[in-house]
Amino acid sequence: MDEFDRIDRSGSNAEKYVLREKLFGTDRVQPMWVADMDIATPKCVLEAVFERLKHPVIGYEIMSDRAYEAQIMWMHTHHAFEIQREWLTFSPSVVASIGCAIRAFSDVDDEVIVMSPVYPPFFSQVKENNRRLISHSLQLDNTGEYHFDIDVLRSKITSKTKILLLCSPHNPIGKVWRDDELLSLGALCLEYGIVIVSDEVHCDIVYEEHTHIPIASLTNELCECSVTLLGTGKTFNMAGFSISTVCIASEALRKKYKKELDKVHFGEGSVLSHIAFEAAYRDGGTWYGKLMSHLHANRDKIVQWSRRNTIIRVTPPQGTYLAWMDCRALGLGDKELREFFIHEAGLGLSPGLSFGREGSGFMRLNFAVAPYVLEDALEKISNALRGRGYD
Ligand SMILES: Cc1ncc(COP(=O)(O)O)c(C=O)c1O
């Protein structure tokens, strides 16, 4: 069987499948929503875990230096980001780290900037921690690319603005931020003493001429004011291991973060996750290369499909395995659009509106599936469109 062939996830409690009835009102949809892949986790990861299970004690364990070193080496090789061991701490979840960082670097009623549309926990973590949201609308140009407006951003900053929550690469729009964009955001944050919390969990899924640049790797000043969230969840399809890291170079920021961390007691997580994490970064390079060819081919399929079909527009994602489908020309309200995909196309996608009001009229499709599953999904959309009189 091809390593990237369809994986039957029935018999597991995969969210993507078991929540269909609840989310879409039917389990008769092909689920292409939550951001994990219908692709097997690499063998090197599974084998390392099997090997560890030969030891009969699964007690409290700390994450080994070897595991951190494997991540440091990966970030050096793939992103030219030179991380020091003491900058890194374990986290069971990137979203939990966002919450922790918000509490560590701001007070109740302080302001946090997010750029919308964006991954929904960016909004909810700010609100649930009783901070105020400064939402900046990214502007779509006529080539389908999104941009921020630095002057508008600047005009929103007050003495209470403490954090910029950056999504890099940006889910759901698939944007890989360029160095000039990051430098301009970074200069603004440095000018106003704003801490940059950069969620870079999608950093390895980047296509062609685009290069992911960790914002903390750009200059020493940016390194000192940034908190970078990294992990194996997306790259190696191992979200279920609940492991990631928080990278903070500044000793002062690290102290504040640690104080907050002590309150939540994340502990050190599971030994099986430590083993999986180390194996992925140490031995997963070849698998990762093949994964990128697979995702690249799928991405091209969607883009070609969208060129043939003029009513739904998909700008080639620069990063992530998520296609941001502009369905506004269909002229449907968001509820109707969702119903159209569920009942007429038989697909369970993420509604654009869940990523902020700027996502109205869009749908997000997860294309990390076998090629024929994707072809079938695109065919279903084409047929549903034909049913409505579009060619
Ligand atoms: C940008 C981004 N951050 C974080 C996460 C989730 O990370 P975790 O499961 O480690 O909380 C996702 C998952 O889709 C994501 O897209």
CA 138 to each of CA 20, 82, 178, 192, 195: distance values in angstroms, whole numbers, following the listed order: 30, 30, 15, 21, 20
Residue 272 and residue 366 share a domain: no
Domain assignment present for 246: yes
Q: Which atom of ligand 1 is nearest to the CA of 118?
A: 1
Of the pLDDT bands very low, low, confident and very high (cuts 50, 70, 90), residue 309 is: confident
Domain assignment present for 4: no
pLDDT at 216 over 80: yes
pLDDT at 176 over 80: yes
Q: What whole-number distance in Å separates Cα of residue 145 and Cα of residue 315?
A: 7
Residue 304 and residue 279 share a domain: no
Amino acid at 285: G
- What spacing in Å lies between the alpha carbon of 205 and ligand 1's midpoint? 13
- What spacing in Å lies between the alpha carbon of 234 and ligand 1's midpoint? 8
Residue 197 and residue 62 share a domain: yes
Residue 298 and residue 150 share a domain: no
Residue 226 and residue 117 share a domain: yes
* Atom 13 of ligand 1: nearest residue by CA position: 35
Residue 225 and residue 173 share a domain: yes
Q: Is 233 in the pocket of ligand 1 (CB under 6 A)?
A: yes
Q: pTM score, two decimals? A: 0.98
Q: What is the mean pLDDT of residues 31-40?
A: 97
Q: Count of domains in the chain?
A: 2
Q: Is 269 in the pocket of ligand 1 (CB under 6 A)?
A: no
Q: At what angle do helices 94-105 and 251-264 cross, to 10 degrees?
A: 110
Q: Which atom of ligand 1 is nearest to the CA of 244?
A: 10
Q: What is the mean pLDDT of residues 38-59?
A: 97
- What spacing in Å lies between the alpha carbon of 383 and ligand 1's midpoint? 33
Residue 158 and residue 61 share a domain: yes
- What spacing in Å lies between the alpha carbon of 144 and ligand 1's midpoint? 24
pLDDT at 310 over 80: no
Per 3-state DSSP, the chain is made up of helix, strand and coil in percentages (nearest 5) of 45, 15, 35
Q: Is 167 in the pocket of ligand 1 (CB under 6 A)?
A: yes
Domain assignment present for 322: yes
pLDDT at 287 over 70: yes
Of the pLDDT bands very low, low, confident and very high (cuts 50, 70, 90), residue 2 is: confident
Of the pLDDT bands very low, low, confident and very high (cuts 50, 70, 90), residue 11 is: confident
By most ligand atoms within 8 Å of CB, the mutation choice from 171, 173, 205, 230 for ligand 1 is 171
Q: Is 35 in the pocket of ligand 1 (CB under 6 A)?
A: yes
From 283, 316, 349, the end of a domain falls on: 283
- What spacing in Å lies between the alpha carbon of 201 and ligand 1's midpoint? 7
Q: Which atom of ligand 1 is nearest to the CA of 320?
A: 16
Domain assignment present for 201: yes
Q: The CATH number of the domain where 30 resides is what?
A: 3.90.1150.10
From 256, 283, 310, the end of a domain falls on: 283
Paired tokens of 82: 């030179």
Residue 235 and residue 191 share a domain: yes
Domain assignment present for 2: no
pLDDT at 88 over 90: yes
pLDDT at 33 over 90: yes
Residue 165 and residue 58 share a domain: yes
At residue 145, the pLDDT reads: 95
Residue 203 and residue 167 share a domain: yes
Of the pLDDT bands very low, low, confident and very high (cuts 50, 70, 90), residue 1 is: low
> For the segment 236-248, what is each residue's pLDDT rounded down to a tens digit?
999 999 999 999 9
From 222, 249, 283, the end of a domain falls on: 283
Q: Would strands 161-167 and 350-351 be described as parallel, antiparallel, or unpaired?
A: unpaired
- Sign, CA dihedral 30-167-260-104, equals negative
Domain that holds residue 315: 15-42+285-385
Q: 92 preceded by cis ω (within 30°)?
A: no
- Of the candidates 231, 199, 210, 220, the one whose C-alpha atom is nearest the C-alpha of residue 92 is 231
Residue 292 and residue 166 share a domain: no
Residue 76 and residue 145 share a domain: yes
Domain assignment present for 7: no
